[in-house]
């Protein structure tokens, strides 16, 4: 039996990885795709936002696949080996802070190499925030440098005359990768799932030491999960998030969550990148208990204070949104 191709899906916080993943699952042309979903925080949100079209879903929380949960990722591959006949492709969606190199090294392990092959690394780039992201965290540069395919996403959020310079900048950072422009992560799925394989001896891992030894993240960046049982007062939430995003040092990098809105039977999917927030209706709550939860990633976030402020946004009984 031939080895199962694996796509590593990376991209900095809020670039649109989960949107792209859902697009691939919707347009996968009958492929049986197993998804390995990595969350930075200890409470996952992305898994609940991934469409039901995947063959199997594995969630790895409380760390990045490139470091603290790397062994868990290896364990998932071991679980998949007896199920190879049920799977056509594997997609690993990393957290926005993950560096690709340690994940790629997993494919050098004999048991993984025998059953799986890395088809390619796909990096989603937020056209509206690329410069800030590159300035903030070295992982963003590393995600771009390791890519076989760069998806310049959210081009509708920047001026038309800025797109070509952004694409040229990406090509300077990684001349080996192809670049696709996209809005809402709508790309050609066949191209994404057939990058042709990647052998380390043909395309060696870039040297991105950056004058440090060993892998580390910006220690000031961490995740905070805030949650409340019931509906959220949308007006109060809007005011609070506005104040939080304007605090000195702009501590918020990324937000993602699910909101229950008074009087509405639907879940609302909440996404934020810095001070840009997008809320869209999702699937109905049905008989599930309603709650509101946001995973925040940022610098020096005070978990107790942030939870208290979010709790103050609880909608009162009978309150309209």
Domain holding 63: CATH number?
A: 3.40.50.300
Domain holding 305: CATH number?
A: 3.30.1220.10
**Per-residue pLDDT tens digits for 268-308:** 988 776 666 778 888 899 999 999 998 887 777 888 999 99
Domains held by the chain: number? 2
* pLDDT band (50, 70, 90) for residue 212: very low
Q: Are residues 53 and 143 in the same domain?
A: yes
- 294 contacts 255 by C-beta, under 8 angstroms: yes
Distance of CA 81 to the CA centre of its chain: 25
Which domain, by its residues, includes 307?
221-311
pLDDT of 134 reads 78
pLDDT of 156 reads 95
- pLDDT of 211 > 50? The answer is no
Q: Which residues have a Cβ under 8 Å from the Cβ of 142 and sit 6 or more positions away?
A: 99, 100, 101, 208
* pLDDT band (50, 70, 90) for residue 222: low
Q: Are residues 128 and 18 in the same domain?
A: yes
**Per-residue pLDDT tens digits for 108-131:** 899 999 999 999 999 999 998 888
Is 54 a domain residue?
yes
Count how many residues are written for the chain.
Answer: 321
- pLDDT of 60 > 90? The answer is no
């Amino acid at each position: 039996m031939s080895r199962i191709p694996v796509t590593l899906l990376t991209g900095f916080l809020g670039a649109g990885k989960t949107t792209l993943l859902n697009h691939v699952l919707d347009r996968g042309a009958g492929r049986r795709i197993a998804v390995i979903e990595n969350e930075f925080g200890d409470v996952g949100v992305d898994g609940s936002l991934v469409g039901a079209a995947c063959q199997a879903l594995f969630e790895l929380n409380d760390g990045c696949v490139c470091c603290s949960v790397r062994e868990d990722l290896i364990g998932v591959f071991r679980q998949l080996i007896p199920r190879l006949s049920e799977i056509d492709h594997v997609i690993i969606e990393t957290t926005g802070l993950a560096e690709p190199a340690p994940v790629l090294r997993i494919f050098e392990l004999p048991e993984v190499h025998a059953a799986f092959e890395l088809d390619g690394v796909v990096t989603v780039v937020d056209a509206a925030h690329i410069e800030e992201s590159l300035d903030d965290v070295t992982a963003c540069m590393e995600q771009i440098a390791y890519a076989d395919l760069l998806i310049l996403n959210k081009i509708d959020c920047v001026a038309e005359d800025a797109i070509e310079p952004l694409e040229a900048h990406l090509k300077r950072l990684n001349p080996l990768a192809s670049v696709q422009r996209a809005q809402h992560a709508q790309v050609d799925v066949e191209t994404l799932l057939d990058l042709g394989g990647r052998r380390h001896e043909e395309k060696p891992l870039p040297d991105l030491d950056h004058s440090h030894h060993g892998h580390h993240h910006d220690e000031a960046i961490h995740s905070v999960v805030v949650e409340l049982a019931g509906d959220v007062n949308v007006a109060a939430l809007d005011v609070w998030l506005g104040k939080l995003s304007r605090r000195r040092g702009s501590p918020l990098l990324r937000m993602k969550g699910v909101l229950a809105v008074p009087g509405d039977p639907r879940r609302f999917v909440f996404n934020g990148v810095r001070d840009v927030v997008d809320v869209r209706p999702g699937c109905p709550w049905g008989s599930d208990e309603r709650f509101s939860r946001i995973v925040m990633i940022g610098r020096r976030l005070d978990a107790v204070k942030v939870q208290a402020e979010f709790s103050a946004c609880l909608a009162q009984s009978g309150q309209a949104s």
